[in-house]
Amino acid sequence: MAGALPHHAPAVVLLSGGLDSAVALAAAKRDGFACHAISFDYGQRHRVELEAAARIAARAGVPHKVVGVDLRAIGGSALTDDIDVPKDRSEAELSGSVPVTYVPARNLIFLSIAAGYAQTLSAWNIFIGVNSVDYSGYPDCRWPFVEAFARAANFATGVWDDRDRATLQRPGFTIHAPLINLTKVQIIRLGRELGVDFMLTHSCYDPGESGIACGHCDSCLIRRRGFAEAGVPDPTRYHARVPAVEP
């Protein structure tokens, strides 16, 4: 893909501080984009991920912006409310319906802010590390959403102008979701290939005061299982004694 692209075209990369977005950033860099990372301080209980995002951006040598958006005010999620984060759920539970850690419309909100930021940079490429293969309980991680979002963003920002359909000013936003069809195992292998330092990334939804990964929430379980299945050592420091995850 890199060969066909205008190199050093600016791109905005959503960077949560987790594993997936760190790999998405590495993929954007591999493809020759001049990346601008953006993170969101949205009232998440795992706010420590913002420090991980800052470390990842610094290591990648890209500018990093943190935007505050108070999603605690709208509530409706275990990540922003005083609802318990589920622990040690079974494979079947992980693969089931929308989990309580779903933050209503989160990727819609984050991509919208990213599109506004991108417009100020004249950047028409946005990278997001969503993936829809494993545990796709979050509706805003699937392709029809990403595609519908690009259309809305093009009209919102005037890139597409309905008053003059014949002559679009610019090709418009491209939303890149390079991990969307990858399994967690494939994402971890791609990350290793691209030199992502997994030690810098944070996945845990419920790190408490210590900032140390709990090892038992959905996000920790998926991460641990991914490393185990990929046969890649997981450098994460988990809280206390975490029983081994069988691949």
Residues that bind a copy of itself (CB under 8 A): 65-71, 73-76, 98, 103-109, 111-113, 115-117, 119-120, 139-140, 142-145, 148-149, 151-158, 160-163
Phi/psi at 39 (5° precision): -130, 165
Residue 69 or 232 with smaller CB distance to a copy of itself: 69
- In whole angstroms, the minimum distance from the beta carbon of 91 to a copy of itself comes to 19
Relative orientation angle of helices 19-30 and 49-60, to the nearest 10 degrees: 20
Q: Which is nearer to a copy of itself, 175 or 196 (CB)?
A: 175
User: Nearest-CA neighbor of 77 among 45, 43, 100?
Assistant: 100
Q: Are 206 and 51 in contact (CB under 8 A)?
A: no
Closer residue to a copy of itself (CB): 176 or 189:
176
In whole angstroms, the minimum distance from the beta carbon of 52 to a copy of itself comes to: 19
CB of 130 to a copy of itself, least distance (A): 11
- CB nearer a copy of itself, residue 34 or residue 66: 66
Neighbours of 4 (CB within 10 A): 7
Distance of CA 4 to the CA centre of its chain: 25
Rounded Cα gap, residues 149 and 140, in angstroms? 10
